[in-house]
A and B are shown apart, each in its own frame.
Chain A
Amino acid sequence: KAGVTQTPRYLIKTRGQQVTLSCSPISGHRSVSWYQQTPGQGLQFLFEYFSETQRNKGNFPGRFSGRQFSNSRSEMNVSTLELGDSALYLCASSLARGNEQFFGPGTRLTVL
């Protein structure tokens, strides 16, 4: 089975811009979660989607949003980018009843 894929792998944006990141889960996985990894804060949960519905949300401002499509693919959007949004954004997928999450390689976002 192919693993979780994320595009793009690297992205450079400037402050104030917006960005959309994409994630394709493992085939058959219907749950997609997003995490942010920074040197200072470590790995932090952003949100989780299941059957096109956001089921869970972490402690991030409303500038961070996401959606899931009927084929379980997910996108994450960050508007009005700030320097502090520079991070590795990781997507993870899991089975509907599974606790184990399987991560993609991440998208490295740099905000200048």
Chain B
Amino acid sequence: DQQVKQNSPSLSVQEGRISILNCDYTNSMFDYFLWYKKYPAEGPTFLISISSIKDKNEDGRFTVFLNKSAKHLSLHIVPSQPGDSAVYFCAASDSGSARQLTFGSGTQLTVLP
């Protein structure tokens, strides 16, 4: 039973446009959410996070939106750059086991020049 789902395995976007990556979760105990970027043969790189007490968090070109009622979060990248091409994972945790991250299956983002 996948508790964190990324339903789009891949996404292609033109350079300069907005990339929107989506993530859904089923466990209502999750209260902290993170996005990671991963290149082949490397470990995931932390991008941005959001607590369930917020509905938006912004860091430079990256913004994460959280809709608790829909159990949905999204990562917006504006403007997209070719160097953003990577696999993006969303992850979730709950306060009871804060360092047990549950990951989605990832979305391969390709930014076309």
Contacts and interface: CB of A to CB of B under 8 A. Distances in A.
Interface of A: 4, 6, 31, 33, 35, 42-45, 48, 50, 55-56, 58, 90, 92, 94, 99-106, 108
A99 B49 contact: yes
Interface in B55-112: 89, 91, 93, 97-106
Nearest to B2: A42
Given A43-B89, A106-B43, A100 B102 contact: no
Contacts of A103: 36, 43-46
A56 B106 contact: no
Interface residues of B, number: 24
Residue among A6, A50, A94 with most chain B CB within 10 A: A94
B100 A45 contact: yes
A104 B34 contact: no
B93 A42 contact: no
20 contacts: A4-B43, A31-B99, A33-B99, A35-B103, A42-B105, A42-B106, A43-B44, A45-B101, A55-B99, A56-B100, A90-B44, A92-B43, A99-B34, A99-B98, A101-B99, A101-B101, A103-B36, A105-B42, A106-B42, A106-B43
